[in-house]
Homo-oligomer: A and B are copies of this chain.
Amino acid sequence: MKEETRRVEVLKISGKTRAKEHDLVVKESPVTVFLNDVELVTLLCTPRDVEYLAVGFLYSEGIVKSKKDIKRLYGDRKERAVWVETAGKTKLEDTVPGKRFITTGCGKGLSFIDSSEFKGKLKKRSGRKIPSSLVGSLMKEFQKRSEVYRATGGVHSAGLANARGIVAFNEDIGRHNAIDKVLGESVLKGVKTNDLILMTSGRVSSDILVKAARARIPVIVSRSAPTDLSVKLARDLGITLVGFARGSRMNVYSHTWRIQSASSESR
């Protein structure tokens, strides 16, 4: 956890009591992504697994579609930079207007994708059903793994899971970055995501749906709330959106048929 946290002095006040202590806070660093030697973007992030982050960012932007598209990848945490070389030229490095910064909350600053782009792929979305008890147990495992969150309270978590458990997990100060990190890991490891569950600690806004759609993920499970636009996109895109997943409780906002009730599991 040394990579992700820093000890700082803090004055702790509780009523009339004041005490100087040391506490862990999460690290935030700028990391610059170079695409084919062009400076593409600087992300403010938790500086761990920056290669995953860079690849996940490019994947979410639609620039990198699979591991084959990446010819070379080099991350230098000290230099706070990741160099990505793609097999062919991409449309992006020609159109980028120079230095760009994306802060801790940002997911998609360079472009925006209309849900219509994905509509043709609707029928290919996974038909697998999931028992609601699995959602509960995955969320339990998800929270157990949130080490940096427990130490600092200052990060979001993201994960990819199947029926056997969580297959990718990461944390970042940005909820979009955390998701890009697990997507980047799956791209680099050649793990297919079209039958996986995307887990997030954060609110589900439209941009999270766009990321899931790109990765052809059929189910999103969040501990937190969705927006109306994310519910609409989930319905349009054939994605099951589960919010407020806490213990055995959850709200299912779209394509509810994928979440099997506890009673039908025992049949």
Contacts and interface: CB of A to CB of B under 8 A. Distances in A.
A130 to B, nearest CB: 11
Interface stretch (A51-59, A64-72, A180-188, A202-210): A202-210
Contacts of A175: 105
A250 to B, nearest CB: 5
Interface in A92-133: 97, 99-109, 111-112, 132
Interface stretch (A6-14, A137-145, A192-200): A6-14
How many copies are assembled?
2
17 contacts: A5-B228, A6-B228, A12-B251, A12-B252, A13-B259, A16-B262, A25-B226, A44-B229, A97-B97, A100-B109, A101-B108, A101-B111, A101-B112, A103-B109, A104-B206, A104-B227, A105-B207
Nearest to A29: B229
A88 interface: no
B261 A13 contact: yes
A50 B64 CA distance: 35
Output the residue of A15, A104, A132, A231 with the most chain B CB within 10 A.
A104
The 9 closest A-B pairs by CB, nearest first: A105-B105, A154-B225, A97-B97, A28-B227, A101-B112, A106-B106, A28-B229, A104-B205, A11-B252
Interface string A11-47: 1111110100001011111100000000000101000
